[in-house]
Amino acid sequence: MNEVAQSALAAPVGTISLWDLFWQASFIVKLVMLGLLGASVWTWAIIVDKTLLYGRFRRQLNKFENVFWSGQSLEELYHNLSERPASGMGALFVAAMREWKKSFEKGARSPLGLQTRIEKAMDVTLAREIDALESRLGFLATVGSAAPFIGLFGTVIGIMTSFQAIAASKQTNLAVVAPGIAEALLATAIGLVAAIPAVIAYNKLTSDAGKLGNRLEAFADEFSAILSRQIDEKTSR
C-alpha cells in the first residue's frame, strides 16, 4: 500500500495551457472562440474610442458655452464657426444662424414660418449629432446579450465531443473526460469575458451619451428662444 501511494505521489502531474486547450478543441468550438475573441477586441476598441470621443465632445461643449455666453455678438461667432466644420452646440448654432440669414436675405415675412424653419434645422442637426454619439453602442448591447449564449453553444458542442470520445474509448476515466470538458468550459469563459465589459460599458456610455444629448437639447431650446425674441423685435420694427 505504501509503495502504491509513493508511486502515485511521484507520478508527474500533467498541465494543459489555455493555448493547448484551444488547439485541441474541435473546429466548431475554435470558430466560436475566435468569434468571441474578435468581438471582445472590437468591444474594447469601441469602449476606448467612445470614451475619448465623449471627453472631447464634453470639452467642446464647455468651450462653446463659455464663448456663447461671454457676450460675443452672434454674427461674429457665426462668422468664426462657419469657416470650419462644427460639431455639438456649434453645429446647432451654425444651422440655426444659416437658416436665419437665408430667410432674411430672401425677405421673410412670416415670423412663425421663420421660427419653424429654424427649429426644424436645429432638430435635424440635433438628430445627426445624437446619432453620432450613439453609433456602435448597439454592438455592445448585442455582444453583452449574445456572447454568453454563443459561448454556451461552444460548451455544448465541446461536451458532446467529450462524450463521443468516451464512447469511442469505452473509458470513463477522468483523464479522458477532463480535456474535452476543459475545452468546452473555455468557450463559456471567453463568452463571459466578452459579455461582461460590453454590458458595463454599454450602460455607462449610454448614460453619458444621454447626458450630452440633453445638453444639446437644452441649448437648442435656449437658442430658439433667443432667436424668437430677435424675430419679434425685427418684425415689430
**41-62 residue pLDDT tens:** 999 999 999 999 999 999 999 9
pLDDT at 2: 39
Q: What is the pLDDT, as a whole number, of residue 113?
A: 78
Give me the pLDDT at residue 231, please. 76
Determine the Cα–Cα distance for residues 47 and 42; give it in Å rounded to an integer: 9
- pLDDT at residue 176 tops 70: no
Non-local (6+) Cβ contacts of 7 within 8 A are: none
pLDDT in tens, 132-171: 999 999 999 999 999 999 999 988 888 887 777 777 766 6
Model confidence over 196-228: pLDDT tens digits?
A: 999 999 999 999 999 999 999 999 999 998 888
| Rounded Cα distance, 185 and 180, in Å | 9
**Position of cell 464663448?**
67
Average model confidence (pLDDT) across the chain: 84
215: left (phi over 0), alpha (psi -120 to 50) or beta: alpha
Q: Are 57 and 133 in contact (CB under 8 A)?
A: yes
For residue range 112-131, what is the model confidence (pLDDT) as tens digits? 778 888 899 999 999 999 99
**How would residue 236 be classed by pLDDT, with cut points 50, 70 and 90?**
low
Identify the pLDDT of residue 10: 39
pLDDT given at position 16: 63
13-17, 80-84, 133-137, 199-203: segment of lowest average pLDDT: 13-17
The confidence score (pLDDT) of residue 7 equals 35
Once rounded to an integer, what is the mean pLDDT over residues 172-192?
A: 78
* Residue 150 · residue 35 · CB < 8 Å: yes
- Alpha-carbon distance 145 to 143, whole Å? 6
